[in-house]
């Protein structure tokens, strides 16, 4: 997977969290790709999550979404998604926010 050189703050999330949401990567996945997602570990006091978006749909457990947002403390440790993208790209964002009590 090719990683982008410079992190880009995503203005879509401005003001939603106390810390910036960073655009991490755009991955060429093609149509109908099955992607395995796994939360391995974290080294931060902040709650960690990811947001994935495509111009088509992301299929999770048979349900379709244009984007999904998952947090390491509430998502399964590992899960699969199917990406039905029109342009073949999956946009991935890394997020963190103060721990919710």
Per residue in 5-42, pLDDT (tens digit) is 444 555 555 566 555 566 678 999 988 999 999 988 87
The predicted structure's pLDDT at residue 42: 77
Instruction: Answer yes or no: are the C-beta atoms of 49 and 96 closer than 8 Å.
Output: yes
Q: Cα(93)–Cα(1) distance, rounded to whole angstroms?
A: 15
Per residue in 32-57, pLDDT (tens digit) is 999 999 988 877 788 888 999 999 99
Q: Cα(56)–Cα(69) distance, rounded to whole angstroms?
A: 16
3-state secondary structure of 13: helix
pTM, to two decimals? 0.72
What's the burial of 94, exposed, middle or buried (CB within 10 Å: 0-12/13-18/19+)?
middle
Q: Are strands 78-84 and 63-71 parallel, antiparallel or unpaired?
A: unpaired
Asked whether the predicted pLDDT for residue 91 surpasses 70, the reply is yes
- Tell me what the mean pLDDT of segment 56-77 comes to: 93
Q: Cα(23)–Cα(7) distance, rounded to whole angstroms?
A: 6
What does DSSP assign to residue 55?
E
The domain at 8-97 falls in which architecture? Sandwich (2.60)
């Amino acid at each position: 997977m090719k990683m982008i050189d410079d992190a880009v703050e995503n203005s879509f999330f401005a003001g939603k969290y106390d810390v910036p949401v960073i655009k991490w990567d755009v991955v060429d996945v093609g149509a109908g790709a099955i992607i395995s997602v796994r939360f391995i570990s974290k080294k931060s006091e902040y709650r960690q999550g990811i947001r994935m978006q495509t111009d088509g749909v992301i299929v999770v457990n048979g349900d379709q979404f244009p984007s999904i947002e998952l947090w390491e403390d509430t998502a399964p440790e590992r899960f699969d998604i199917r990406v039905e993208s029109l342009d073949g790209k999956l946009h991935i964002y890394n997020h963190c926010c103060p721990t919710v009590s």
